[in-house]
């Protein structure tokens, strides 16, 4: 049921009273106010009725021949808010009821309008709680999101709550975090939980853009190709590594975001676009602004709300939990048993600073499983790529390719995907670098 349908659905009350006339009188009052009611003469069938009917609130008398309304406060299952009424009420009983978890307590005779206000507030609170739980369940099932959000630290809880909160708004979101913390996965979670979920999610790696090709790729060509803005129409456009954009590109992007329109190459007529902008950076944009490398006005356009992803070394209590999770995942993938970690391996995990964050830990877990599959291995050896004997080349050509792959991958990570800087650091031309990336089957998105 959609949130809109949920809001339109009348509130449901489960009314419990052994006095038939009182039950009918309460039902008449509630139904006249637009509620739907189910009536019971006592507590014995309450749990079954809750499962079947899913009421938003329970309205119950306290003293009944076949049970007490106070007993409802101790049901094993999660119950909706409980409002108690009694003709024999006194202060000690009310205090006991509220301490046990009652939403409210009223004495008979009661003011009908006050009762309706209390029931409406209780039902609205219950609906809100249910909606939040549904969002959390949906979030937990998102493909790949466990790689980022698995953990029990307060930082992770904050991120989960922010994703749920921000997904329901159209505001631009800026995600900041070190390499490997999962910025794109968080961006996809925000999209998947939003009302744009059935529309496209288009990711742009800004580190790969050059000024000469930016407009063609982003704004498109009239009657020839759609740019990424139009590809993301109605959905979400994810701008990854925005700090790497040149000043010229930043100015063009700012105009498109401010005016919500683009002009394809070859056209003299602007086209309006409806996209939600989510951006990410592993560089502190405040520092980039201070250094004159990033426009302050673009920053404000992108950062209406901000999510800061914690690095792994700041939540060490989650490291072993994450490793166990990935070990189980890769053991199932490679059809082998899950390796058991000894005290020395756990100490090694906790002593490491994890500069590559969750992505690095996941790769170590995979190598640990592959080593265990061959009958050996440890966390410390899995951390050293060169000691993974399964990847030792058998020929000189393979050794050279392995060395080049490692060297280029490290340069891409060091220079945060800025390919001109990577080529310069390696002492080769940009074209040669591109050819080697293709030949060596390197996936730059996996490295950043």
The CA-based dihedral angle spanning residues 259, 263, 267, 271, taken in that order and rounded to the nearest 10 degrees = -60
- Residue ranges of E strands in 125-208: 173-176, 201-205
CA distances (Å), origin 342, targets 26, 212, 345, 386: 64, 54, 5, 23
At residue 93, the 3 state secondary structure works out as helix
| Choice among 1-5, 6-10, 65-69, 369-373 with the minimum mean pLDDT | 1-5
End-to-end alpha carbon distance in the chain: 38
Read off the DSSP letter of residue 224.
T
Burial class (CB in 10 A: 0-12, 13-18, 19+), 61: buried
List, for residues 151-163, the tens digit of each pLDDT value.
777 888 888 888 8
Give the largest CA-CA distance in the chain. 93
Residue 343: pLDDT over 90: no
pLDDT given at position 136 = 58
Helix (H) or strand (E) holding 63, with range, is: strand 63-64
pLDDT given at position 27 = 93
What percent of the chain is modeled with pLDDT above 70? 87
Name the residue with higher pLDDT: 151 or 320: 320
**pLDDT band per the 50, 70, 90 thresholds, residue 29:** very high
- Residue 67 zone, left/alpha/beta (φ > 0; ψ -120 to 50; rest): left
At residue 24, the 3 state secondary structure works out as helix
Mean pLDDT of 328-342: 86
CA-based radius of gyration for the chain: 29
pLDDT given at position 161 = 83
This prediction has a pTM of 0.54
Q: Which residue has the tokens 């100015």?
A: 251
pLDDT given at position 298 = 93
List, for residues 165-216, the tens digit of each pLDDT value.
888 888 999 999 888 888 888 898 899 888 888 888 998 888 777 767 788 8
Average pLDDT, the chain: 82
Residues in Cβ contact with 309 at an 8 Å cutoff, skipping those fewer than 6 apart: 148, 159, 175, 176, 177, 178, 181, 182, 183, 186
Question: What's the rounded Cα separation, in Å, for the pair 223 and 236?
Answer: 23
List, for residues 245-268, the tens digit of each pLDDT value.
888 888 988 999 998 988 888 888
List, for residues 345-401, the tens digit of each pLDDT value.
888 888 888 888 888 888 898 888 888 887 777 888 888 753 344 444 444 555 566
Name the residue with higher pLDDT: 318 or 121: 121
Residue 271: pLDDT over 60: yes
Question: What's the rounded Cα separation, in Å, for the pair 23 and 241?
Answer: 63
Name the residue with higher pLDDT: 139 or 17: 17
Mean pLDDT of 129-148: 58
At residue 359, the 3 state secondary structure works out as helix
CA distances (Å), origin 318, targets 150, 357, 362: 8, 12, 13
Residue 64: pLDDT over 90: no
**pLDDT band per the 50, 70, 90 thresholds, residue 295:** very high
DSSP conformation letters of 302-339? H-SEEEEPPPGGG-GGGHHHHHHHHHHHHHHHTTSPPP
List, for residues 402-447, the tens digit of each pLDDT value.
677 777 887 888 788 888 888 878 878 777 788 788 777 777 766 7
The whole-angstrom distance between residue 64's C-alpha and the CA centroid of its chain comes to 47
Question: What's the rounded Cα separation, in Å, for the pair 134 and 141?
Answer: 11
pLDDT given at position 238 = 94
pLDDT given at position 222 = 83
The CA-based dihedral angle spanning residues 20, 21, 27, 33, taken in that order and rounded to the nearest 10 degrees = -170
pLDDT given at position 77 = 60
Peptide bond into 109 cis (omega under 30): yes
Helix (H) or strand (E) holding 40, with range, is: strand 36-40
Pairing of strands 276-281, 173-176: parallel
Residue 237: pLDDT over 90: yes
């Amino acid at each position: 049921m959609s949130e809109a349908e949920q809001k339109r659905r009348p509130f449901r009350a489960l009314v419990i009273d052994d006095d038939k006339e009182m039950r009918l009188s309460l039902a008449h009052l509630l139904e006249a106010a637009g509620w739907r009611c189910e009536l019971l003469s006592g507590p014995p069938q309450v749990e079954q009725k809750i499962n079947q009917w899913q009421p938003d609130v329970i309205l119950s008398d306290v003293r009944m021949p076949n049970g007490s309304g106070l007993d409802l406060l101790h049901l094993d299952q999660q119950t909706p808010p409980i409002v108690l009424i009694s003709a024999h009420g006194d202060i000690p009983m009310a205090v006991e009821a509220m301490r046990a978890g009652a939403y409210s307590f009223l004495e008979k005779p009661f003011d009908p309008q006050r009762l309706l206000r209390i029931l409406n507030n209780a039902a609205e609170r219950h609906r809100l709680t249910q909606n939040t739980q549904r969002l959390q369940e949906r979030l937990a099932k998102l493909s790949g999101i466990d790689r980022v959000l698995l953990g029990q630290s307060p930082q992770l809880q904050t991120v989960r709550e922010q994703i749920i909160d921000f997904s329901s708004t159209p505001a631009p979101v800026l995600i900041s975090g070190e390499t490997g913390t999962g910025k794109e996965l968080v961006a996809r979670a925000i999209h998947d939980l939003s009302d744009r979920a059935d529309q496209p999610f288009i990711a742009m790696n800004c580190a790969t853009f050059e000024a000469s090709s930016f407009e063609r790729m982003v704004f498109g060509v009239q009657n020839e190709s759609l740019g990424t803005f139009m590809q993301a129409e109605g959905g979400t456009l994810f701008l990854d590594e925005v700090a790497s954009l040149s000043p010229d590109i930043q100015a063009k992007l700012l105009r498109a975001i401010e005016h919500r329109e683009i002009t394809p190459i070859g056209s003299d007529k602007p086209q309006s676009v409806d996209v939600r902008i989510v951006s990410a950076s592993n560089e502190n944009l405040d520092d980039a602004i201070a250094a004159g490398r990033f426009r302050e006005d673009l920053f404000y356009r992108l950062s209406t709300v901000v999510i800061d992803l914690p690095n792994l070394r700041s939540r060490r209590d989650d490291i072993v939990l994450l490793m166990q999770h990935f070990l189980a995942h890769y053991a199932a993938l490679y059809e082998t048993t899950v390796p058991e970690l000894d005290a020395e391996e756990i100490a090694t995990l906790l002593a490491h600073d994890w500069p590559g964050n969750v992505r690095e830990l996941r790769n170590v877990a995979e190598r640990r499983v592959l080593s265990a599959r061959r009958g050996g291995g440890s966390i410390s050896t899995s951390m050293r790529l060169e000691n993974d004997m399964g990847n030792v080349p058998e020929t000189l050509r393979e050794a050279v390719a392995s060395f080049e792959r490692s060297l280029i991958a490290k340069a891409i990570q060091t220079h945060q995907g800025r390919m001109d800087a990577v080529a310069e650091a390696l002492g080769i031309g940009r074209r040669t670098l591109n050819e080697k990336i293709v030949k060596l089957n390197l996936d730059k998105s996996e490295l950043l």
